[in-house]
Amino acid sequence: MHTERTVVTDTRIWLEDVEGSEALDWVRARNAEKAADLAATPEFARAKDRITAILDSDDKIPEVSKIGEYYYNFWKDAQHERGIWRRTTLESYRTENPDWETVLDVDALNEAEGENWVWHGVGVLPGADQEYRLAMIHLSRGGADADVSREFDLHTRQFIENGFFRPESKGGTSWIDEDTLFVHTDTGEGTMTSSGYPRITRRWRRGTPMEQAEIIFEGEHDDMSVAAMHDSTPGFERDFVVRALAFYNAELHLLDGTELRRIEVPNSAEIMVHREWLAIELRKDWTPAGTTYSGGSLLVTDFDDFMAGSREFQVLYSPTPSTSLIGATWTRHHLILNILDDVKHRLEVHTPGPNGTFTSEPFTGAEDDAVGTVRVGAVDPKRSDDLWLVTTDFLTPTTLWLARADGEPEKLKSMPAFFDAAGLVAEQHFTTSDDGTRVPYFLVRREDLTFDGTAPTLMYGYGGYEIPMLPNYNAALGTAWLAEGGVYVLTNIRGGGEYGPAWHQAAMRENRHLAYQDMAAIARDLVERGVTSHNRIGVQGGSNGGLLTGNMLVHYPELFGAIVIQVPLLDMERYHLLLAGASWIAEFGDPEVPEDWEFLRTFSPYHLFEPDAQYPPVLFTTSTRDDRVHPGHARKMADLMIEAGKDVTYYENIEGGHGGAATNAQAAHMQALVYRFLAERLGLN
């Protein structure tokens, strides 16, 4: 039995009223203070102009998705602030200046409708003979997670009058046929979970009111979300229902007529169904039929045999202490595995033979540098073995390749160099955390660095949800920080996915502090190497990374000269009551349970702040339209610190959702603000 615990009265709850007049007056007043002073400097203006030019550049790689005979791209630049959805042919895309046809102009739509729509994606119905006509386009007001879905005709390039329309809500749709959708959304009282996501999924037939559509499945109020999707692979058409209880905790069901048949794998596993195959990526050890498979492994078997009771698997990948599976991508005939070995990539091609046995060979071509990243995507997994490969690293402009799983890659597009990388080097280092764990990080510095402890250094981290931090070509960072003489450090702390599920699980709940100890160990290692000194180290993170930097602030203030906290969680006593917060209880713990609160309070920055302690300067950024992580976290912490007379800069963008910005101009403003704040506080220039 759980005992009750004392809850301290929070006098700043009024700042949780997202669009309340008093709260917004507070926001406007804070925005007009130090953030406005930074934005008035000529250095800020130069940085913003350079970043805007990068974001608006026509030389960026327009990444495309194949839909029928066309290759579609969503594009934003100075002339298309909200963006255009456009298409071309592969032949034209191969040229230096493709001939694009605009399918939807979001700026023109906003002008016509008096809205502030932000593109949220599209779902297209595959037609016979690869004729693709019907689409559901998803649009969000101001960039929030909640969006609307509207039926669109790809032939006429117009929204369909009286077509399918899903009103604004968190949720989504999946095509079944031209007159039927699966829909999961808010259809009235009791249809959403405590996390603010759909609890019910329906089969919605054209001409039927959505609220009266046939209910396929109902989850529980305390689930995270429910959804259904249709697999349209010819000859393997199937319907699935997913019930997500929490992150990395979900049930997948096959909808067989009117019967739901549970796919009996651990809730923590990731499931991929491709044609006749079922692939299972384990996050924890599993022992079906007396054989134990380790967490982090990838198993494959025949789907129908599995549903009939077989538990015979082929093991395509097993983790080692230095390796993890970062991605698995099906093409028509192959399964490509993307493996990290000490956070360095290698690709493998696995191919089933006539007897169903998979053979493996390395993927060759388009190899990346030792501290680079390779992303893999299927062009058309139902019909083709073509692959998109994206190679990137800190100093080399990103390149897009078109390849076959069994052929030589074709270089399609490369970004230009947006900053001068001459004289810069990128390298990987390891340090030891407090408990003896070996923790990697990447360091980007000038080749002639004197190692006299004077280099302004920016650390970036996340440390949660099994998300790895991987090298990439960040042109804004390059032009506003590296080219100005700054050092950059990308951290691979526990909680992320750099070493697979175990690396993530090592820093969950009561072990959260281990991620923070890893971050502190890297900061100390940088000083010991002579790269920098503590008063010249800045640390930046957003979302769960904002919780990370918030804990750097309250636990390790002596290690840093400046801290950037973006769209953060900071109040771990009330986080589960705010927007999507309840969906993160499995990651952090439940504040309502006294035993959980005992460890939650040890990494709740809002409760650990001490008015008389010394803290480095802090920049908070968030968005009024963030309906995932509540802006109240940043507001309340900033107000608490300002009242105590600390050096706080606060900026809240009215739009942007969880990403913080809805347009390139807004993104450039936010990024320039961060780099200017860090430059001034760390003595960059």
Report the alpha-carbon distance of residue 529 to residue 454 in Å, rounded. 12
Query: In terms of C-beta density within 10 A (0-12 exposed, 13-18 middle, 19 or more buried), how is residue 136 classed?
Result: buried
Report the alpha-carbon distance of residue 230 to residue 238 in Å, rounded. 6
Tokens 């396929």 identify what position?
216
Tokens 């994606």 identify what position?
121
Are 233 and 251 contacting, i.e. CB atoms less than 8 angstroms apart?
Answer: no
Nearest to 520 by CA among 485, 563, 483, 482: 563
Distances (CA, A) of 356 to 236, 277, 352: 17, 10, 5
Nearest to 190 by CA among 199, 181, 203: 199
Tokens 């929070």 identify what position?
10
DSSP structure string for 107-159: HHHHHHHT--EEEEEEEE---GGG---EEEEEEEETT-S-EEEEEEETTTTEE
Is 318 designated active site? no
| Amino acid in the structure at residue 331 | T
Query: In terms of C-beta density within 10 A (0-12 exposed, 13-18 middle, 19 or more buried), how is residue 491 classed?
Result: buried
- What count of other Cβ atoms lies within 10 Å of the Cβ of residue 220? 11
Q: What is the side-by-side order of every strand in the sheet holding 345-352?
A: 323-330, 335-341, 345-352, 358-362
Nearest to 676 by CA among 199, 110, 98, 50: 50
Are 532 and 487 contacting, i.e. CB atoms less than 8 angstroms apart?
Answer: yes
Is 350 designated active site? no
Are 475 and 483 contacting, i.e. CB atoms less than 8 angstroms apart?
Answer: no
Q: Angle, to 10 degrees, between the axis of helix 21-30 and the axis of helix 632-643?
A: 60
Tokens, residue 161: 């009058």
State the catalytic residue, choosing from 138, 350, 555, 658. 658
How far does Cα 268 stand from its chain's mean position? Answer: 19
Q: Give the start-end residues of each E strand in 154-224.
A: 158-159, 165-169, 172-177, 180-184, 200-205, 214-218
State the catalytic residue, choosing from 140, 324, 543, 583. 543
Query: In terms of C-beta density within 10 A (0-12 exposed, 13-18 middle, 19 or more buried), how is residue 6 classed?
Result: exposed
Q: Which residues are catalytic?
A: 543, 658
